[in-house]
Chains A and B, each alone.
Chain A
Amino acid sequence: MPTHTVILDRADMRRTLVRIAHEIVEKNPPQTGAPGFAIVGIQRRGAVLARRLQALTSELIEPPVPLGQLDISFYRDDLGIRSRGGGPVSPVVHATELDFPIEGRTIVIVDDVLYTGRTVRAAIDELFDFGRAGRIQLAVLVDRGHRELPIRPDFVGKNIPTAQEQRVNVRVEEIDGYEEVAIVPGDERGRRAA
């Protein structure tokens, strides 16, 4: 089995995000009198992709699309379980920023990889603590399958069938210094569910 298979390179990622941006605008056309959609990324790489999608969609419509980010750490469903075993998690602190009213608005949640769906569940829960969004949609760069919850994406960059023990690594310039989506063989940290 190859150790490291690149699925999307820098140019592919750019093209994919441009397409998703168009799809988002197509599905949520501006309507007079109604608040438009907002883009909200899940920390950390989802937030990076959200920033790009916000810029891309804002080129297509007026006024600029509001941007937010969610840190779902406090909403994980495995907080109590982790201390009794399970994979280690990043102890790094990030922030939730949603400085626009979400009441009645369409919120497009953005994440890099959709896997079990537990992260998205946590993000939806967190959004509800800010108010009652009109609609919530989901955009992901990669859908790798193996859902454990009834969650499906509205916008998908690429469907990548994977084995559970494999990992899908999304690398972005802002955090990693390079751009790439790759499948790598899993290690014991392979199942980072949330």
Chain B
Amino acid sequence: MTRHLISIEDFDRAGIERILDRAESFAEVAGREIKKVPALRGRTVVNLFYESSTRTSSSFELAAKRLSADVVSVRSAGSSVDKGESLRDTIQTLSAYDPAAIVIRSPYVGAARLVAGWTPASVINAGDGKHEHPTQALLDVFTLRRRLGGLDGANIWIVGDVLHSRVARSNILAFQRMGASVTVAGPPTLLPRRIEALGCAATPSLERLGEADVVYVLRMQNERMQEAFVPSIREYTQRYQIGLDRLREGQLLMHPGPVNRGVELAADAIDSPVALIGEQVKAGVAVRMAVLYELLVGSAMLAEVA
């Protein structure tokens, strides 16, 4: 186990499974009268969010608090951080508080990796531009493993705006590491060129969607689109929106949130029992507790054993 969580690429299957097993223990804590354990008492966790976020920031905050850490949340939506230099200054300032971990979300690819070089704290990537969102991938694997028992041999389709999606990148890697095969599908303009290099299949057509055991729908990321990638939302909706009409019996539906209701997902699918969206959110806290615990306590123990 490394000291940081920057990319799913840094984790092999055993490393992922270790975090998921730990997350199971923390899921049990969520069912208690007092949903708090003293594991990180006296330690500080800084949440630094340079992009808007509801569930990731709130679940990291809750995760740290349930581990009894002290949490400082710094938000700077629409921030002045346009240059690496000022990000560096911010990190140096925050490092003066001697945090055990810094959780960072940034619109810039590689921000978390850079920060890891500037601070003695453990760094957790909560999303860096279009690159990766590893804790989302871990909680998705956790949710699926709970539902399916395991991902070995599962056929997972990731549908929609793959180009702008850091979730897609992390999830393709994580699903495959756990033994699933992955197909990405969406308008050709929203599929990154040579995405197959990650080991997945790619198709512009939903014809064979029936083969999927799991349909993972991505959000249309209007805020990241500087040009017109699809002719119109209406056309996208007609061709790629996932509703109950496109799903067959037994398929599971996932979405990282927030959902554009009526765009990538039809309302009937969002609210149907095949959707695991609520379970994904719930898994978020337990999995992020596990990540914090493993990075701040578990890895130190492992290093000693080794």
Contacts and interface: CB of A to CB of B under 8 A. Distances in A.
Q: Do A and B come from one complex?
A: yes
Given A74-B37, A75-B37, A129-B36, A82 B301 contact: yes
Contacts of B22: 93
Contacts of B37: 74-75, 126, 129
Contacts, number: 61
B85 interface: no
Nearest to B300: A83
Nearest to B293: A74
Interface stretch (A44-52, A94-102, A156-164): A94-102
Binding site of A, secondary structure by majority: helix, strand, loop or mixed? loop
* Residue of A73, A95, A130, A131 with most chain B CB atoms under a 10 A cut-off: A73
Nearest to B26: A74
A4 B29 CA distance: 40
A95 B23 CA distance: 11
Interface residues of A, number: 22
Given A75-B38, A79-B39, A80-B42, A97 B28 contact: yes
Binding site of B, secondary structure by majority: helix, strand, loop or mixed? helix
A29 B136 CA distance: 51
Contacts of A131: 33
B62 to A, nearest CB: 16
Contacts of B43: 80
A19 B18 CA distance: 40
A71 interface: yes
A71 B39 CA distance: 12
A169 to B, nearest CB: 19
B257 interface: no
Contacts of B42: 80
A89 interface: yes
Contact of B24 (A79, A89, A95, A129): A95
A130 B25 contact: no
A91 B24 contact: no
A88 interface: yes
Interface in B258-306: 293, 297-298, 300-305
Q: What 3 pairs across the A-B complex have the smallest Cβ distances?
A: A83-B300, A74-B37, A129-B34
23 contacts: A73-B25, A74-B37, A74-B67, A74-B293, A75-B37, A75-B39, A79-B39, A79-B40, A80-B42, A80-B43, A82-B297, A82-B301, A82-B304, A83-B297, A83-B300, A89-B301, A91-B18, A93-B18, A94-B25, A95-B28, A126-B37, A129-B34, A130-B33
